[in-house]
Amino acid sequence: MTDAAPRILMCPPDHFGIEYEINPWMNVRQGADPARASAQWLALEATLLDLGVEVDRLAPAPGLPDLVFTANAGLVHRRTFIVSRFRFGVRQGETPHFEAWARGRGFEVVSPPEGMNFEGAGDALFCGETLFAGYRFRSDVRSHQWVGERLGVEVLPMELVDPRYYHLDTCFCPIAPDAALYYPGAFDEYGRSVIRARIPTLIEVRAEEAQSFSCNAVVVGRTVMLNRGAPRLAEDLERLGYATRPLDLSEFIKSGGSAKCLTLRIDGEEAAAWKAGGAGGSP
């Protein structure tokens, strides 16, 4: 374990808004309230700072309302940053910003081959040694196989079957190398079997609580930040020895994102085995 402070990339919601619809949560006629969005974002940042997190702020850019969702910037593995290749054109303009940031922080930046879709930590999450990956709506399965090969890690692509849970981080959240919470309804029987076979400690999130984006959680040490409205999940987490910090991120849910989507762990997620094994690896 490293004593260095956890580091998280965030992007202030100066230009955040609902300007297009690329998931079932988005509705351009029901836009986000900028002042409320800003307040909610600052509350999340304050919570993280309170937990000793070093927040790295990415400069917001006009015309890129979803740049706030830094989880989709790419995938961090030691000194390598696999930058996202967004499925939808409206988000593809974010890539140069994320790429420039990663280079500035000393990462070796790698792009998935052309023709593949890969949406970073939104769809690829380490739990232990293994990279769990979601495909169908945003990332495609070939990109995950490519990432696994490029990083030399085992990757387990799982199909996402419910369009409301279009990214893996909306329905699956590793909390430790051997533990995760997940919403079974977002996967088919194959995906559920993979998760059950490979992760010893699992919390099943109930449908009504999954719908309030509670799986889209940020884990820092033994504390879990998640959208409010998931008391049963909070109980389950507390039973496993985790403290929870419920937050109101309702403005961002209008866009299909919550706490996890708004953050990118730079020094490795708590659940990633490589983080514990190679503390010196982060730049």
Partner 1 sequence: MASEDETKTKKPEARAIAGAADEIEVRGHIVDSLLLPKILDRILQMGGTFEIHECRIGVKRTDPSYARIGIRAESPELLAEILGDLVEHGASPVNLEDARVAAADVASAFPEDFYSTTNQRTQVRSKGLWIDVEDQEMDCGIALDVEAGRARCIPMVHVTLGTPIVVGHAGVRVIPEERPRETSLFGFMNSNVSSEKPKAVSLQSVADGIRATRAAGKKVLLVGGPAIVHTGSAPHVARLIREGWIQTLFAGNALATHDVEQSLYGTSLGVSIAKGESIEHGHEHHLRAINTIRRLGSLKAAVEKGVVTSGIMYECVKNGTDFVLAGSIRDDGPLPDVITDVLEAQDRMRAASREVGFALCIATALHSIATGNLLPAWVKVVCVDINPATVTKLADRGSFQTIGIVTDVEPFLRSLAVELTADREAAGR
Site for partner 1 in 198-237 (CB under 8 A): 198
Residues β-bridged to residue 173: 181
Q: Which of 2, 38, 111, 145 binds partner 1 (CB under 8 A)?
A: 145
Q: Output the smallest distance, CB 266 to partner 1, in A.
A: 24
| Residue listed under structure tokens 């990118």 | 264
Task: Convert residues 105-134 into a mask of x (bound to partner 1 by CB under 8 A) and - (unbound).
Answer: ------------------------xx----
Q: Which is nearer to partner 1, 195 or 247 (CB)?
A: 195
Residue 154 found at the interface with partner 1 (CB under 8 A): yes
Q: Which of 119, 140, 169, 236 binds partner 1 (CB under 8 A)?
A: 140
Question: Are the CB atoms for 38 and 13 separated by under 8 Å?
Answer: yes
167 given a catalytic annotation: yes
**Strand 130-135, strand 74-77: pairing:** unpaired
Q: Which is nearer to partner 1, 92 or 193 (CB)?
A: 193
Residue 155 found at the interface with partner 1 (CB under 8 A): yes
Helix (H, G, I), strand (E, B) or coil at 187: strand
Residues β-bridged to residue 37: none
Q: Specify the DSSP element, H or E, that contains 81.
A: strand 80-83
Q: Which stretch binds partner 1 (CB under 8 A): 30-38, 95-103, 146-154, 241-249?
A: 146-154
Q: Please calculate the CA angle 216-230-119 and round it to the nearest 5 degrees.
A: 10
Helix (H, G, I), strand (E, B) or coil at 172: strand
15 given a catalytic annotation: no
Residues β-bridged to residue 181: 173, 203
Q: Output the smallest distance, CB 72 to partner 1, in A.
A: 21
Q: Which of 55, 61, 90, 153 binds partner 1 (CB under 8 A)?
A: 153
What residues contact residue 270 under an 8 Å CB cut-off, 6+ apart? 174, 175, 176, 219, 220, 221
Catalytic residue among 77, 167, 173, 215: 167
What residues contact residue 12 under an 8 Å CB cut-off, 6+ apart? 38, 41, 57, 60, 68
- Give the footprint of partner 1 on this chain (CB under 8 A): 129-130, 136, 140-142, 144-145, 148-149, 152-159, 190-191, 193-194, 197-198
Residues with catalytic annotation?
167, 261
